[in-house]
Amino acid sequence: MAVGCSKAPSATSRTSSNLPQPVLYDPAHDLGQLFHDVQLSGMFEDSKTFADARPRLAPAPAPLTPGERRARSIGLGCLMTVLGFLSHMDTSPAVSGANVNPIIHKNYQGGDIVLPKDPTQVITVARNPTLKEMIGDDIITADGTTLLGSDDKSGIAAIMTMIDTLMQNPQIKHGTIAIAFTPDEEVGAGIDKFDIKGFGAQVAYTVDGESLGEISNETWSARTATVTFKGKSTHPGDAKGIMVNAMYALGDYLSRFPHDMLPETTEDRVGFVHPYTGTVDVEESSLKILLRDFEISGLDAKEKILRDMVAATQAKFPEVKISIDVKELDGYVGRYEGGPDFFIPKAILSIERKGDQLWMNYSTGADTPLVPLSTTKFLTRPFWATITFVKDEKGSVTQLIYGYSGTDYIARAMREK
């Protein structure tokens, strides 16, 4: 079975803190029908736009591998019972994903690919050398006027093809498989409501990426910085000695980015800083910057560079008020009090930041590191509990939800006197 590229839009905004809500097209509904088409049921009923499913029938026991037999012979057993596969349904908001017209270039024989509805859009071999490895393949592109949406609907197609193959060929032995299609990549916060316990997989793979056969076993750490430039606007006819144009300070700040630390000049495990969006205005301008690195020390170093750049631009434009805010961890720091129904009644939980790591301390226990699952959800490794921070409409943290053994416990943020 192949899932193809839908002609309905499924783009999401990187600036949104909410889950995308289906308007003209509900991808989970359509994908749900696909699950049933390959004899699956157990669709999770929830308020999010996820499509989650577990198999209707228990699979035949998979034969043990030699390694598993050796492990069992010394009493270790076989720990993994459910294997998960995931792909994301959302597509980039940079280009329209509505009214997609997929073009199949059959039996590709090399050379640049010109997209028919916009001849200025050319997929060149020079900039896409992997085309050299696709001679004889069928290549699918958009027509040049929209996004194709293959990232990551190709992953959805691959997973559904695998499931269909397994269902049609029961002689292929396998363990329990869980699959989920999520709106997690472009929004970032979309994964906050993912039901890890309900999904049930001990190990999972996201089917996305680039080269065939490639497996990525790590990901980078990330921060987002916002730099704000505040000037003073007035009527340009009377502006002499009064107007302070914030745009010039923003331009100076942009010019200070290290050329060898940008996405377009780095590769492999080299981190980067990426100014990706902003607003430009006389009175107030702003710039949002992504920080990426595989090491926390690398993130710290990049944050310091951005702060040093602020200081240098501030010195050059003393009348412009410049500030930098690096999200999100500081907003979670503080003390939280559980109620009488908390798993430890009236417990006080303290959240502290040490470098780029949040730590939790119980009133009766030791420090526990929090492992980020998303921008608002964290995992406590010793107990495999989750900590989810809840914000009000102004962005202030009001409480945390401590999820443990299928129960959510509420601890409210304490206002320091």
> End-to-end distance of the chain based on CA atoms, in angstroms?
61
Three-class SS state of 356: coil
Contacts of 171 (CB under 8 A, 6+ apart): none
263 φ, ψ (degrees, to nearest 5): -60, -35
Exactly one of 52, 152, 184, 185 is catalytic; name it. Answer: 185
- Tokens 């294997």 found at: 83
Neighbour count for residue 97 (Cβ, 10 Å): 24
Residues 173 and 171: their CA atoms lie apart, in Å, by 6
Task: Extract the runs of DSSP E, i.e. beta strands, from 231-318.
Answer: 272-279, 284-293
Residues linked to residue 357 through DSSP beta bridges, in sequence order: 354
Residues 370 and 356: their CA atoms lie apart, in Å, by 11
Provide the token pair at 235: 């009527």
**8 A C-beta contact, residue 204 and residue 390:** no
Exactly one of 52, 90, 184, 293 is catalytic; name it. Answer: 90
Contacts of 126 (CB under 8 A, 6+ apart): none
Give the burial string for 272-303 (b: 16+ CB within 10 Å, else e): bbbbeebeeebebbbbbbbbbbeeeebbeebb
Active site residue 295: no
**8 A C-beta contact, residue 93 and residue 186:** yes
Provide the token pair at 408: 């959510």
- Tokens 């790591």 found at: 357
Give the burial string for 236-256 (b: 16+ CB within 10 Å, else e): eeeeeeebbbbbbbbebbeee
**8 A C-beta contact, residue 178 and residue 199:** yes
Three-class SS state of 388: strand
Which of 161, 165, 267 has its CA nearest to residue 210?
267
Instruction: For residue 63, give the DSSP letter.
Output: P
Active site residue 90: yes
Residues labelled catalytic = 90, 185
